[in-house]
Amino acid sequence: MPRWVWGITMLSMLQACSPVAILNALSPKSGITETFDVRYEPGDRHTLDIYAPKGQTPAPVIVFIYGGGWKDGNKAEYRFVAAALAARGFLTVVPDYRLYPQVRFPAFLQDNAAAVAWTRAHIASYGGDPGRIFLMGHSAGAYNVAMLTLDKQWLGAVGLDPDRDITAMAGLAGPYDFLPLHDPELDAIFSPAGDLRLSQPITFARGNAPPMFLAAGSDDTTVLPRNTVLLADAIRKDGGVVEERIYPGINHTKIIGAMAGVLHWLAPSMADVTAFLDRYVPPLTAVAASARPVTGAIP
């Protein structure tokens, strides 16, 4: 079947049915070991799923944080991302975390930090390399991993240092500089920060952070691509390592949908993310020697 016919067929199916259900059903299964509902901390929404590539031990690890505006989402919806990354050789961890209105800032960052700490301490038992951990997220999840990477207090609270314990970070369609707030729910979510600048990843932009890959779609009206451009500029200005991509004609959902194998043709987000991360995978021998256990539209 010609590629364009396949593409039209897939888009028709996605429009007629649940897009996530279809993408998850079509995502890779062979060559991947799946472990569900592993508890990383006591309490509600504190479990994670693990997708490990078979025959590659220890594998580099991605902790993938999903989006949903800090109020929606669950890990089961993102099998298509995790399985695709596992098929590329990355053991992928997808945690759930608490959302608004159950919690507000910074509880979701604290949950994500706890999931990363659990991964560092325990992922070797599942075939992952605790010395090669990457953070990745989409939308609000990209915000979360940017904050963990740039503002050292969140991982510091669980005994980690992003500059030591995170190899690199990838963010897709992330809100990194979205003040002033114009949405009552965002006001409610972030008001505990007091000074709202302390809730913004761009406030903590620094050149000595782990390497960052930042991508957005030019047609994103949910999180405007200026967020990606401004954070990349700030990192670059301070002498940091950052790669920036703006995909023409791509919106907020297509950039993450394109991570699925059947939709790679939409945008090169999977190829770009994995190529970037591959460049920063340190040699296994060096890692083994150093690894140690640890106790409205957004403007």
Tokens 């591959």, residue located: 278
What integer pLDDT is reported at residue 294 of this predicted model? 39
Whether this prediction's pTM lies above 0.85 is answered by yes
pLDDT band for 2, please (50, 70, 90 cuts).
Answer: low
* Helix ranges, the chain (H): 3-16, 19-26, 79-87, 107-122, 140-150, 153-156, 162-165, 184-190, 226-237, 254-257, 269-279, 284-290
9 pLDDT above the threshold of 70: no
161 HSE (CA, 13 A, CB side)? 5
Q: Architecture of domain 33-281 in CATH? A: 3-Layer(aba) Sandwich (3.40)
Q: Name which residue leads in pLDDT, 205 or 9.
A: 205
227 pLDDT above the threshold of 90: yes
| Rounded CA separation 105/33 (Å) | 34
| Rounded CA separation 70/275 (Å) | 28
What pLDDT, in 10s, does the model give residues 21-80?
A: 888 887 778 899 999 999 999 999 999 999 999 987 899 999 999 999 999 999 999 999
What integer pLDDT is reported at residue 160 of this predicted model? 98
What pLDDT, in 10s, does the model give residues 158-210?
A: 999 999 999 999 999 999 999 999 999 999 999 999 999 999 999 999 999 99
Tokens 């207090």, residue located: 153
What pLDDT, in 10s, does the model give residues 228-242?
A: 999 999 999 999 999
What integer pLDDT is reported at residue 196 of this predicted model? 98
Q: How far is CA 203 from the centre of its chain?
A: 20
> For a pLDDT cut of 90, what percent of the chain falls above it?
82
Return mean pLDDT, the chain.
91
